[in-house]
Structure 1
Amino acid sequence: MIKKSKSTAMPSDTHEKFNELSAILKQTQHLWKPVAFHDVGIGWLNCLPELAERLLSFDLAQIERLHFDPEPLIESLQGYIPELTRLHLLSQLPGTSSRALALVDPRVHAGVPGKKWAQVQAFCAGIGATTSPVLDYCAGKAHLGFYIEQSLNVPVVSLEWQADLVAHANERALRENRRLNAQHVDVMSEACQRYFEGQPHVVALHACGGLHERLLSLCISQQTPKIHLAPCCYHKRSKEHYLPYSKKGKENDLLLNKSDLHTAVMETVTASASQVRQRKALQTMRLGFDLIQRDVLLHEAFLPLPSMPLSWSRMNFEAFCRHWAKAKNIPLPIAIDWSDYWHRAEQRFHQVSALDLVRALFRRPLEIWLNMDKALWLEEHGYEVSLSTFCERKVSPRNILLQATR
């Protein structure tokens, strides 16, 4: 059962809460802006040596548990960061008042991963009843759309840019005689706007940063009567810096960049033990290569590498470094002590993981701030807006539901 926040301890006014959250985030940005993976020397280490000592006392198993479970992490570190208790309180959201889950044809969830299906059901339960046609934005495989069509008994139009997923959804709808029509469209294009005409009930489950920002812009321009949105991946957007949308957000501008936005979603609870091991190996190799390039180029600048699939974790450390040295035009010396660099990389991984626990404390507050900015923006355009959680964190840490009605 999702615990609801204690309203008696919270600011009664949304603007007041947003202002207080903004003030604390500004005051503590020296703690959450530095990225330990990139910065060898983090500024706050000298200011808070006892905090650093506490973090580095954790072994890797403890660090891993604390990254995945914010409550013990907050309890462990609140004595070192005075603002943490209030920040945590300001980041609480009530659970969504939802109806019972509908029973549907088992074919609806055939082949859908368990946690994905649980997310779909919980999100749909948070919608409640509707009689309007539904527009499913960034629908993917249309799992949500098919469930809504059956459980709420309304026609659904699903928007998706991957043509194969659109074709598959339409074939399935025809085969199962479902009132779902998938449309192949780039939601960032002008062609998308016509689907918002006719006042549909718009839904989006885990729409990424630039995509859900575009969605809300379209809804405002078309005066969409009802919106249910679960945002995700705030950093996946074309522009490097986040420009607040609401008047209050502009007044309390935090000057967030993509790295800051990524902090809000650096948490995951769905990775398997195998994936965790692969990520550790891959990150250790990246850190090892970074140590080498700093020594070779005689500088202290972090060298970013592109995203890599977890399969790269199976690569030999030397082969990994030689590949990226060639790709980045870095001349490697003939003699390299690979075992020494690997040992140093493992030590660096432990240090990075420990220090990054501080940034982890600010994941949820930053995510709440971003969603409150959108909520206030919608209110400025005549919407009644609420923020809540539609599922438990273990089902998905991206569990914020933005509901807007006009």
Structure 2
Amino acid sequence: MSIDDLKLWFLQLDQLLEQQQAYWRLQPMQQNDLPFADHSLNELLLSFSLEQCDAIDQSPALQQQYFAGFFPLLFAALPKLQHFAPQGLELPFWLSTDIGGRKWQQISLFAEAVGKPGSKVLEWCAGKGHLGKVLCFAYQNKVTSLEWQAELCQQGQLSANKLNLDQFFIEHNVLEAQSQPLLASVDQLVALHACGDLHRVALTAGVAARCPELHLLPCCYHLQQDECYQPLSEQALASRLRLSRAELKLAVQGQNTAGERVRRLRHTEVLWRRAYQLWLSEQSGSTLYRALPSTAKHWFSGAFADFASWAAAQHQLEWPAGQDGHRYLVQAAQLLLLQRRIELVQHLFRRPLELWLVLDRALYLAEQGYQVQLQQLCQASVTPRNLLLSAYSYTDEQSSSVRVTGAVPR
């Protein structure tokens, strides 16, 4: 993948996001009507039920079917990325103990995509080190797993010792302590779903240590200390886009891996919070949004009045006894449908924005002399955050040889 390809893709996405920012740089919850000037687009949105909105929002094929005519440049600007073609990494069932099905799929696919026999690997933000265990077992790698939580390090080390794996855990906060010495003698740095600043530091530390290979599946770009996004590459630094932390969150709003119960509870939570805000506005005479803290999901399995009583207490108010809140729930349902219709358009720009961010990272690595590979690791049903960024500090001939990987069967 040449740097010219990366620059072209980035430029196309950059122009698209700038020219059509009216469609994605908005707050759907704050709208009282459809904000778009295209009457045909508005008519289409008004025809969708809440269930249709949810179905379309979770399906790239349906998004293209309904909206390609309105946004032809958007769909044309998306890079045609290579999809990783797994051959099947043979792993024993007991290695996946206590790991969820989708998480296990992500780990095994990531390991197969980057694994290389005999490598010294640094596992970044390792948690319990599940990825490191697979790399140790399948490829006889020597793995150092960095994790800042002592309890997770202890649990991970105990598991590795029981399995007689060459995996060593280090309690290490990558945001506060220097990591370059730990990278000095490794062959690969791997990071599966390291969030925001965590994977940014992985990139810069890996480059500073001239780590031979870096493999990252970035996630949660908005989890950063800075209020505004700080570009990494020269191309992104030259862009006129200035992204806030809230705008970065748009890139990771895909939720199509959630189960039916989780989606239902999420819908109820959004509806009830909006209904409560309507009541709160009546009491205060102000339409300004007043935040509520996160709370346990059990509140959204009972009665709305119980949740509203809890919410009112957070604002030093008292929910009226005997008030079921039906009137507010009806109004909130109408506002929620409007919000979902607006989000249908806004969410068309999730993937372009995420690709813009990942390409910024890819261009940064290319500018530092690395050969870069960007591919889609898996389907969005396994994880929406499925962009695998790999970088190699080899010559062309050497690089082509290390990209052919396979499992070492046990």
TM-score, L = length of structure 1? 0.90
Contact 1:138 1:160 in 2 (8 A): yes
Which residue does 1:34 correspond to in 2? 26
**Superposed structure 1 runs of 4+ greater than 4 Å apart:** 329-337
| Contact 1:159–1:182 under 8 Å retained in 2 | yes
**What do residues 18-74 of structure 1 show as CA deviations (whole Å, max 9, x unaligned)?**
11210110011111111212x1246x7251233223112111221111111122112
1:61 aligned residue? 51
Question: Which secondary structure state, in structure 1, belongs to the residue aligned with residue 35 of structure 2?
Answer: helix
Aligned residue for 2:80? 92
Report the Cα offset of residue 114 of structure 1. Answer: 1.3
Q: What is the aligned partner in structure 2 of residue 197 from structure 1?
A: 184
Q: Is the 8 A contact 1:185 1:191 kept in 2?
A: no
Residues 309 and 358 from structure 1, CA distance in 2 versus in 1: closer, same or farther, beyond 3 angstroms? Answer: farther
- Residue 336 of structure 2: which of 349, 364, 370 is its match? 349
Q: Deviations over 1:175-234 (max 9, x none)?
A: 121111122211212244432221341001111111111111111211111001001111
Change (3 A) 1:296 1:40: farther
Cα distance, 1:331 vs. partner? 7.4
* Identity in percent: 31
Q: CA deviation at 1:110?
A: 2.0
> Are positions 1:51 and 2:41 aligned together?
yes
**Counterpart secondary structure, 1:231:** strand
Is this contact kept in 1: 2:194–2:219, CA < 8 A?
yes
Partner of 1:231 in structure 2? 218
- Show the 5 A alignment for 1:107-256: 107-256=94-243
Q: Could you say if the C-alpha distance between residues 257 and 305 of structure 1 is closer, same or farther in structure 2, counting changes exceeding 3 Å?
A: farther
**Higher RCO structure (Cα 8 Å, ≥6 apart):** 2
1:263 corresponds to 2:244: no
Distance 1:237 1:308, change over 3 A: farther
**AA aligned opposite 1:260:** E
C-alpha change, 1:364 and 1:352, in structure 2 (3 Å) is: same
Q: 2:257·2:380 contact (CA, 8 Å) conserved in 1?
A: no
Preserved CA contact (<8 Å) 1:220 1:378? yes
Aligned pairs (5 A) from 1:326-365: 326-329=313-316, 338-365=325-352
SS for the counterpart of 1:206 is strand
One-letter amino acid of the counterpart of residue 291, structure 2: P
The residue that corresponds to 1:4 in the other structure is: none
CA shift at 1:111, angstroms? 2.5
* Deviation, structure 1 residue 405: 0.9
The answer on whether the counterparts of 2:105 and 2:382 sit within 8 Å (CA) in structure 1 is yes
Offset at 1:295?
Answer: 3.0
- On the 8 A contact 1:56/1:355 being kept in 2, the answer is no
CA shift at 1:315, angstroms? 4.5
CA distance in 2, matches of 1:184, 1:206: 19
Q: Distance in 1 between matches of 2:124 and 2:36?
A: 47
1:300 alignment partner AA: T
Residue 12 of structure 1 deviates from its aligned partner by 6.3
Q: Which runs of 5+ in 2 are unaligned?
A: 394-410
| Rounded Cα–Cα distance in structure 2 between residues aligned with 1:293 and 1:300 | 9
Give the secondary-structure state (helix, strand or coil) at the position aligned to 1:83: helix
Distance 1:312 1:184, change over 3 A: farther
Provide the C-alpha distance between the structure 2 equivalents of 1:309 and 1:52, rounded to a whole number of angstroms.
36
User: 8 Å contact 1:122–1:390 — kept in the other structure?
Assistant: yes
What letter corresponds to residue 93 of structure 1 in structure 2?
L
Residue 195 of structure 1 aligns to a residue in which SS?
helix
C-alpha change, 1:28 and 1:239, in structure 2 (3 Å) is same
Q: How far apart, in 2, do the equivalents of 1:325 and 1:107 lie? A: 48
CA drift at 1:124:
1.1
CA distance in structure 2 between the partners assigned to 1:234 and 1:309 by the alignment:
25
AA aligned to 1:76 is: Y
Aligned-partner Cα distance in 1 for 2:316–2:23:
34
Note if 1:310 corresponds to 2:302: no
- The answer to whether 1:399 aligns with 2:386 is yes
Deviates more, 1:105-114 or 1:150-159: 105-114
Are 1:275 and 1:310, in contact at CA under 8 Å, matched by a contact in 2? Answer: no
Identify the range of structure 1 (253-262 vs 293-302) with the bigger mean alpha-carbon deviation: 293-302
Q: Distance in 2 between matches of 1:207 and 1:306?
A: 25
Tell me the equivalent position of 1:3: none
Q: Separation in 2 of the partners of 1:97 and 1:244?
A: 31
**Contact 2:370–2:392 (CA<8 Å) still a contact in 1?**
yes
Q: TM-score, normalised by structure 2?
A: 0.89
Which position in structure 1 is the counterpart of 2:286? 299
- Structure 1 unaligned residues grouped into runs of 5+: 1-6
The 2-side partners of 1:243 and 1:195 are apart by 25
Contact between 2:56 and 2:344, CA under 8 Å: does it hold in 1? yes
User: In the aligned structure 2, how far is the partner of 1:398 from the partner of 1:157?
Assistant: 24
The worse-fitting range, judged by mean Cα deviation, of 138-147 and 71-80 is: 71-80
> Displacement, 1:398?
0.8
Name the CA shift for 1:91/1:32 in 2 (closer, same or farther; >3 Å).
farther
Q: Deviations over 1:248-280 (max 9, x none)?
A: 101114211122111111112221111111111
1:278 is matched with which residue: 265, 280, 286? 265
Name the aligned partner's letter for residue 345 of structure 2.
V
Q: Distance in 1 between matches of 2:18 and 2:56?
A: 24
